[in-house]
Amino acid sequence: MTAFADPTLASLLPLLSRIADALERAAPEPPAAPDFTVADAFVWLSERRLQPVAKVNRVEMGLLRGIDRMRDTLFDNTDRFARGLPANNALLWGARGMGKSSLVKAVHAEINARRSGGTRPLKLVEIHREDIEGLPELMGLLRPDPHRFVVFCDDLSFDGQDTSYKSLKAALDGGIEGRPENVLFYATSNRRHLLAREMVENERSTAINPGEAVEEKVSLSDRFGLWLGFHKCSQDEYLAMIDAYVTRYGLELEPAQLRAEALEWATTRGSRSGRTAFQYIQDLAGRLGRRLDDA
């Protein structure tokens, strides 16, 4: 007696087997576990994979002026995390060009420079704003690895009908598993609550219960235990930044001329900030025929 009483079904078996084999060949192979020993920094790409960064574009922590309190607070928080102690997710918010993202990268480098022999280096993983929906998947990928990770999103904010902020809330809360013990999340933003004012006001005007709708969106920033506010620098702080860069890169210019040029540079741009200071230094180095990467 054959295995199939129905001869029609038996005749379909080879065809079904070929279809199953074809589908198996067409299915993408599961991604290989990333090798986190090849670099200390990675970028999470839109195709859901990690790309190592051989050389991070960063500023030395000693060159970041006018943000001493924020620098020390973020360093202490990151240092505790790197040593396996409790630490908070951090939101760095405030004025443009005042070194928010530079501070995150500088602290990461300083932590690794000070680590004792035999301890694993801290890893920095950057995720772009438009890929934030992949954050829960990234967290799951990092969870089983023995390294400790700072996941970093620069210039994070949400506009209009964007609902990807829910992915961020889920990742920071961690669901039933909780946030991975070896992952910390740092974000920079010009907005304290990450959401555009019109976005919050729209929720208030259209929701059945406006108070609850607004509370859900504003509560996103509450997932960050550490808030660090960055404000526009004073003229003296701006000039201190200029002096620090000039000393670091060995640029020679008469002090009175340096001061006059630096102030004029800031005036023409309508801004005094760390970014403006470095842009002036780039211009000065170019005019003096000096390469900053040679210093």
Q: List, for residues 249-294, the tens digit of each pLDDT value.
A: 999 999 999 999 999 999 999 989 999 999 999 999 999 999 987 5
23 within 8 A of 33, measured Cβ to Cβ: no
Decide which of 230, 249, 274 is a domain's last residue: 230
What pLDDT is recorded for position 209? Answer: 45
Q: What is the pLDDT of residue 103?
A: 96
Total number of domains constituting the chain: 2
Asked if 150 and 65 sit in the same domain, the reply is yes
What's the average model confidence in pLDDT over 163-180? 72
12 part of a folded domain: no
In a domain, 32, yes or no: no
Q: For 4-50, where are the alpha helices, taking DSSP H only?
A: 7-26
Do 206 and 278 have their domain in common? no
Average pLDDT, integer, range 104-117: 93
Query: Which domain, by its residues, includes 86?
Result: 41-230
Q: Do 240 and 262 belong to one domain?
A: yes
- How far is it, in rounded angstroms, from Cα 254 to Cα 257? 5
Buried-state track 40-65, b at ≥16 Cβ within 10 A, e below 16 = bbbbbeeeeebeeeeeeebbebebbb
**Distance from C-alpha of 266 to C-alpha of 242, rounded to nearest angstrom:** 11
> Is residue 215 domain-resident?
yes
pLDDT at 89: 93
Same domain, 166 and 202: yes
Residue 127 lies in a domain: yes
pTM of the model: 0.80
> Is residue 207 very low, low, confident or very high in pLDDT (cuts 50, 70, 90)?
very low
Is 96 in the same domain as 58?
yes
Mean residue pLDDT of the chain comes to 84
Does a structural domain hold residue 29?
Answer: no
Same domain membership, residue 182 and residue 207: yes
How confident is the model over 1-21, as pLDDT tens digits?
455 556 666 677 777 777 777
The reply to whether 252 falls in a domain is yes
Q: Are 184 and 252 in the same domain?
A: no
Residues 274, 143 share a domain: no
Q: Do 277 and 203 share a structural domain?
A: no
Q: What are phi and psi of 42, to 5 degrees?
A: -140, 160
**Whether residue 164 sits in one domain with residue 98:** yes
Residue 204's pLDDT is 47
CATH number at residue 153: 3.40.50.300
Q: Is 202 a domain residue?
A: yes
Give per-residue pLDDT as tens, 114-162: 988 778 999 999 999 888 888 888 988 999 999 999 999 998 877 766 6
Within a domain: residue 24? no
With pLDDT > 90 as the criterion, what percentage of the chain qualifies? Answer: 53
